[in-house]
A and B are shown apart, each in its own frame.
Chain A
Amino acid sequence: MNVELALPTRKDENFRYSDIAALGTVWPIVTEEIVVAEGAEQTLQIVETGAGAVARHIAITLGKGAKFDLRVLTAGPAYGRIAVDVRLAEGADFTLGAAQLATAEETLEIVTEVTHAGLNATSEQIVRTVLAGKSVGTYLGRIAVERGADGTDAEQSVRAMLLERTATANARPELEIYADDVKAAHGCAVGELDAQGLFYLMSRGLTPPQAKRLMLQAFIAEAFTGAAGEEELSAAAIARLEAIL
């Protein structure tokens, strides 16, 4: 077991937008280590819908050709931090589909560090953040492609939706590539709900919260597509959206 001892400060790049006071209440974080053997497949679903503070650090090591499918829903905590480190050997595949939904003064963050250490490994990360009130939502996503990890394919799709202008979205994708023949697509966007679409839905009789919920449901859907627990994740997300709107 690996335990980080000193409480970080906001000077630490990985905790730049954290709620350090809330983090202190759950510190230190015990790193959850997961090792997936060569050729094996594993899935993990993290659903944090309780109130209070939660901070998790998960370190995943994928052997040759191993596959890992991680889904995350953070929707409820006053402070929620999910940090994931992944190391991929040759031909390994990592999928992250994550949604975080926040309102009021909540601070939610997802921090990933995906390291392609072998040839032809693939990773895909989809992160959707919905922010109401004065909440803060952050995604810090670092992708490192080590020397020799040629043929890497690393994709990141990061989007945040601000329901009110008082909310704050932070997104920082980072790419560090020391190999050849690397495909790395990343995009991040912060937006607001389409006013025309909302009016269209309301003109058919949907109340404003219903119209917004429907559009947000569509916005986060991609994060859960293909997950073993897709329905359960969606239902939990919808319940939180209904509470927020």
Chain B
Amino acid sequence: MLKIDNLTANVADKPILKGLSLTINPGEIHAIMGPNGAGKSTLGYTLGGRPGYEVTGGSVDFAGQDLLELEPHERAAAGLFLGFQYPVEIPGVSFVQFLREAANAQRKGRGEEPLSGGEFLKLAKEKAGLLRMDMDMLKRPVNVGFSGGEKKRAEMVQMGILNPKLAILDETDSGLDIDALRICGEGINAIMRAPDKAVLLITHYQRLLDYVKPDFVHVLAAGRIVKSGGPDLALRLEEEGYEAVVQEAA
């Protein structure tokens, strides 16, 4: 589904990703862990096509397409979803208005019929319900005045509505209270656990992985994947810290 080969990328002319390779197959859940500043969010933004994240080498194949050739909205229509570490506030634009336009723009990009207002609201209600989010919150301006945890939950509602093939979730667990963590974990499973879908979880803690069990865990340090393993690698990291694991890999 996703094949990243020797990817290098600069942010503000500074090399951040330094030859990163990673392959994700349909049906798999991968977790990326790594120290602050290692380049985890940079990887997410680079895959999402954020302006200012300049690819200087390597390749990314997404479901048979050259991902790096696509504009951000085309990546979304192709089935990529980026859950933001810091979701952006957009005053004056309501979630429902924005998400309906987004869902229909994606459908148009794929040559599908648009959703009517009623169909969209039904879908939004269902996904908000899944994440136990009050529909009234979706009538508010995008993320404005939302608490940190509410923003993360709203990201998952968006994922539910947009129904991507591959979700890259950047620290979705940070800011969530204990109950919200479980609800979001179960939401991710409900929305993304399928033979034709895949998830890349970026996280610092085992707690999310207790709910969303990864098939593979990778350590990203200084712009590269320095170690990969099974679910037990996350447990080992939690006990021993990055330093020991990163040094051992070097």
Binding site for B on A (CB under 8 A): 194-197, 199-208, 210-211, 214-215, 217-219, 221
CB of A202 within 8 A of CB of B90, answer no
- 6 closest cross-chain pairs (CB), A and B: A218-B92, A205-B76, A205-B106, A204-B102, A200-B88, A202-B72
The answer for the CA separation of A184 and B162 in the assembled complex, in Å, is 47
Set of chain A residues within 8 Å of B88, measured between Cβ atoms: 194, 196-197, 199-200
The answer for the CA separation of A217 and B51 in the assembled complex, in Å, is 23
Give the nearest-CB partner of B104 in chain A: A205
The answer for the CA separation of A215 and B49 in the assembled complex, in Å, is 20
The answer for the CA separation of A202 and B89 in the assembled complex, in Å, is 14
Set of chain B residues within 8 Å of A219, measured between Cβ atoms: 92
Set of chain A residues within 8 Å of B76, measured between Cβ atoms: 202-205
CB of A199 within 8 A of CB of B109, answer no
Given contact pairs A203-B48, A204-B98, A210-B101, enumerate 8 new A-B contacts (beta carbons under 8 Å): A195-B51, A199-B50, A199-B72, A200-B84, A200-B88, A203-B49, A205-B102, A214-B93
- Distance between A161 CB and nearest chain B CB, rounded to angstroms: 12
Set of chain A residues within 8 Å of B49, measured between Cβ atoms: 203
The answer for the CA separation of A195 and B99 in the assembled complex, in Å, is 19
Set of chain B residues within 8 Å of A205, measured between Cβ atoms: 73, 76-77, 102-103, 105-106, 109, 162
Interface centre among B76, B102, B162 (most CB of A within 10 A): B102
Give the nearest-CB partner of B78 in chain A: A205
Set of chain B residues within 8 Å of A215, measured between Cβ atoms: 90, 92-93
CB of A202 within 8 A of CB of B92, answer no
Given contacts A203-B82, A205-B76, A214-B98, contact A197 B90 (CB under 8 A): yes
* B8 contacts the other chain (CB 8 A): no
The number of chain B residues touching the other chain, given as a range, is 20 to 34
Interface centre among A208, A218, A219 (most CB of B within 10 A): A218
The answer for the CA separation of A206 and B141 in the assembled complex, in Å, is 17
Set of chain B residues within 8 Å of A214, measured between Cβ atoms: 93, 97-98, 101
The answer for the CA separation of A206 and B91 in the assembled complex, in Å, is 17
Partner of B73, one of A207, A217, A218: A207
**Interface majority SS on A: helix, strand, loop or mixed?**
helix
CB of A206 within 8 A of CB of B82, answer no
Set of chain B residues within 8 Å of A208, measured between Cβ atoms: 71, 73
* B158 contacts the other chain (CB 8 A): yes
Set of chain A residues within 8 Å of B158, measured between Cβ atoms: 204
Interface centre among A203, A211, A214 (most CB of B within 10 A): A203
Set of chain A residues within 8 Å of B89, measured between Cβ atoms: 197
Partner of A218, one of B51, B91, B101, B105: B91
- Distance between A124 CB and nearest chain B CB, rounded to angstroms: 18
The answer for the CA separation of A215 and B93 in the assembled complex, in Å, is 7
Set of chain A residues within 8 Å of B58, measured between Cβ atoms: none
Give the nearest-CB partner of A222 in chain B: B92
Interface centre among A205, A218, A219, A221 (most CB of B within 10 A): A205
The answer for the CA separation of A197 and B92 in the assembled complex, in Å, is 12
Interface centre among B92, B99, B109 (most CB of A within 10 A): B92
Set of chain A residues within 8 Å of B101, measured between Cβ atoms: 206, 210, 214
* B87 contacts the other chain (CB 8 A): yes
Interface centre among A201, A210, A217, A221 (most CB of B within 10 A): A201
- Distance between B156 CB and nearest chain A CB, rounded to angstroms: 13
User: Per-residue 0/1 for B35-54: is the Cβ within 8 Å of any A Cβ (1 yes, 0 no)?
Assistant: 00000000000001111000
Give the nearest-CB partner of B77 in chain A: A205
Give the nearest-CB partner of B161 in chain A: A204
Given contacts A215-B93, A218-B93, contact A202 B77 (CB under 8 A): no
Set of chain A residues within 8 Å of B72, measured between Cβ atoms: 199, 202-203
Give the nearest-CB partner of B87 in chain A: A200
- Distance between B32 CB and nearest chain A CB, rounded to angstroms: 19
Set of chain B residues within 8 Å of A201, measured between Cβ atoms: 90, 93, 98, 102
Set of chain B residues within 8 Å of A196, measured between Cβ atoms: 88
Set of chain A residues within 8 Å of B141, measured between Cβ atoms: 218
CB of A199 within 8 A of CB of B73, answer no
Give the nearest-CB partner of A213 in chain B: B101
The answer for the CA separation of A217 and B142 in the assembled complex, in Å, is 14
The answer for the CA separation of A136 and B26 in the assembled complex, in Å, is 52
The answer for the CA separation of A116 and B116 in the assembled complex, in Å, is 50
CB of A202 within 8 A of CB of B93, answer no
CB of B92 within 8 A of CB of A206, answer no
Given contacts A205-B109, A206-B101, A206-B102, contact A199 B93 (CB under 8 A): no
- Distance between A112 CB and nearest chain B CB, rounded to angstroms: 24
